[in-house]
């Protein structure tokens, strides 16, 4: 009788440890998704901080291109005010398109392309674009791992029971697979 009781207690303890481990694994994965999203936001904000300086530098050479400057400013504001993964992705894609226009304007001004301030901003922006790309990839990899935990047995039982929802992947709009070219 004592042997059966000991076996039952061991099974119950093992089951409790399994439940705790599964729940904690889901929490850690969800927090990793949140952290990786925050890293994307950090890089997008860094790019957003560089853009006003870039616009001002280009304005000094091409002041008559006000529509391009307005479009870039509006796109930047849209990105800074975006909430959620898809809204942020859409705003980011819009900003990328307007930056392409800004760099197209800069192409017409050889003195601007030679300006040290512009070159420095251009290099910082290119570096930031690379970091954004890496952060998006890391975010999507993290979302994949988390979503797999939410969908695979037996952790899916706990995910459903405790309200763990699948995370949304960062998706670029069609036709925006390329990063704005910032080389001259």
Residue 183 has a pLDDT of: 46
Q: pLDDT band at 181, cuts 50/70/90?
A: low
Residue 111 in this model has a pLDDT that exceeds 80: no
pLDDT tens digit string along 86-101?
A: 888 888 888 888 888 8
Q: Say how far apart CA 105 and CA 58 lie, in whole Å.
A: 8
End-to-end CA distance of the chain: 83
pLDDT tens digit string along 11-32?
A: 999 999 999 999 999 999 999 9
- Mean pLDDT of all residues in 34-54: 87
Q: Pick the residue with more confidence: 106 or 38?
A: 38
Residue 174 has a pLDDT of: 60
Residue 7 in this model has a pLDDT that exceeds 90: yes
Q: Say how far apart CA 17 and CA 11 lie, in whole Å.
A: 10
pLDDT tens digit string along 152-164?
A: 999 999 899 999 9
- Mean pLDDT of all residues in 114-129: 81
Residue 24 has a pLDDT of: 95
Sign of the alpha-carbon dihedral angle for 141, 145, 146, 147 = positive
Residue 152 has a pLDDT of: 93
């Amino acid at each position: 009788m004592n042997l059966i009781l000991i076996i039952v207690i061991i099974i119950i303890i093992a089951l409790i440890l399994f439940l705790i481990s599964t729940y904690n694994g889901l929490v850690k994965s969800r927090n990793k998704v949140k952290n990786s999203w925050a890293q994307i936001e950090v890089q997008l904000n860094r790019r957003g901080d560089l853009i006003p300086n870039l616009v001002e530098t280009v304005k000094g050479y091409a002041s008559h291109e006000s529509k391009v400057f307005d479009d870039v400013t509006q796109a930047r504001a849209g990105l800074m005010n975006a909430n959620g993964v898809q809204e942020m992705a859409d705003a980011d894609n819009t900003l990328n398109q307007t930056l392409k226009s800004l760099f197209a304007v800069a192409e017409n001004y050889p003195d601007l392309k030679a300006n040290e301030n512009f070159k420095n901003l251009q290099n910082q922006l290119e570096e930031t674009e690379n970091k954004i790309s890496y952060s998006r990839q890391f975010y999507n990899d993290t979302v994949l791992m988390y979503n797999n935990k939410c969908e695979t047995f037996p952790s899916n039982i706990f995910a459903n029971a405790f309200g763990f929802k699948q995370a949304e992947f960062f998706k670029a709009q069609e036709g925006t697979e390329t990063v704005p070219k910032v080389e001259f």
